[in-house]
Amino acid sequence: MTNSTQHLVMPMTIEEIARITNSRILCGEDVHPRITRAFASDLMSDVLTLETDHTLLITGLANVQALRTAEMSDISCILFARNKRVTEDMVRLARENEMVIMQTSYSVFYTSGLLYEAGIKPIF
């Protein structure tokens, strides 16, 4: 008999992610994405090559293009690390596309480590 539970990934809510990474939720409280995997990158070109769904993007690149990249990639949740400033334009774009924006003072490495420990899976 194979142990299928070994591969079962429990989806995490944004509230759980916010609690674990000490993040503020800036918008999208009513979106409720189910997060199972995360990808950390400041290079949007790499994000645009991903083929997975239900992915959380952890990045230190805070600009409108990070939002656009997420929009095209069907990523509904972005966590900005290193306390990067999130502008009103970014929040407006996220609201328009039903996306969650979170912000933490922790580094990308620390944020990723905490979420990995809590059961969020890598894409590769």
Partner 1 sequence: MEYDYEIQGGDFSSAGFASSHLKKILKQIGIEPKLIKRIVIALYEAEVNIVAHAYEGRIHVEIEPGQIRLEIQDRGPGIEDIEQAMEDGYSTASEEVREMGFGAGMGLSNIKNNSDDLEITSTVNEGTELTIIKKFK
The contact set with partner 1 (CB under 8 A) reads 42-46, 48-49, 61, 63-66, 68-69, 71-74, 89, 97
Distance in Å, CB of 69 to partner 1, minimum? 7
Distance in Å, CB of 118 to partner 1, minimum? 27
DSSP state of 106: S
54 vs 118, beta carbon nearer partner 1: 54
Distance in Å, CB of 96 to partner 1, minimum? 9
* 18 HSE (CA, 13 A, CB side): 17
- Percentages (nearest 5) of helix, strand, coil residues in the chain: 35, 20, 45
Rg (CA), the chain: 14
10 vs 48, beta carbon nearer partner 1: 48
